[in-house]
Structure formats: structure tokens, C-alpha cells
Amino acid sequence: MKKNKRDAMPSREIDGDSYDLLMALENGEEKFEQIPDYKEFMEYSQKAASNYFKKNARVSFRISEADLHNVKRMAASEGLPYQTFLTSMIHKLTTGQLVVRN
């Protein structure tokens, strides 16, 4: 019995785009360039990622008890501490991942 190309897919599930890229690579259709200094590139990338997620600024503000109660309730429904939930919401808002409706 002859196997088709989809049967040759790795055992780990991959999405359609990744599968198409894998097939193109295996068939020699895609050309990739090697990074000249891979080790230096990886060190730079890891440092940049680490710095991006560093939380090195403190913020203090007052909110109403009712708002704090609501924030804590929302955080609990997400399974997060409320401070982490607030940090996440602020990050999403400032990066355009959270849109405020009028």
C-alpha cells in the first residue's frame, strides 16, 4: 500500500501552515538562509525577550472598594491573583490587544 504525503507527517500534530511549510522544505521548494552567527543571535534574542517581560516599575493608585471587588472576582474567574490580572489587562490595553468600547 502506497502512503500519501500526509501519512508521512510527524506524529506530533501541526497546523496547516506549518504542515505546508514542512512539505515545501522536504520537497526542496523553500530556501532558507543560515543565520551567520547563530549563538550571538540567540543570546541577543534571549536577552531582548527577558528585558521585555521584566517588571521593574512600581505603580500605586487608589480605586474604589467596589472596583477592587470586581477586579478580584474577574481575576478569580480566570484563576489569577488580582495583581497579575491587572498587570495583564494593562499590558493588553497598551499593546492594542484589548480594545475599550464606547
Specify if 42 maps to a domain. yes
* 90 within some domain: yes
Q: What is the pLDDT of residue 66?
A: 97
* pLDDT confidence tier of residue 4, bands split at 50, 70 and 90: low
| Assigned domain for 30 exists | yes
* DSSP conformation letters of 15-68: -HHHHHHHHHHHTT----PPPTTHHHHHHHHHHHHHHHT-----------HHHH
* 46 and 76, same domain (yes or no): no
Lowest pLDDT segment from 2-16, 39-53, 66-80, 88-102: 2-16
User: 97 and 81: one domain?
Assistant: yes
Residues 7-29 have pLDDT tens digits of: 555 556 778 788 888 888 888 88
Q: Is the pTM of this model over 0.85?
A: no
- Total domains in the chain come to 2
Do 82 and 102 lie in one domain? The reply is yes
> Over the stretch 60-87, which tens digit does the pLDDT of each residue have?
999 999 999 999 999 999 999 999 999 9
Domain range for 86: 60-102
Whole-number pLDDT of residue 69: 97
> Does residue 6 lie within any of the structural domains?
no
For residues 67 and 97, state if they share a domain. yes
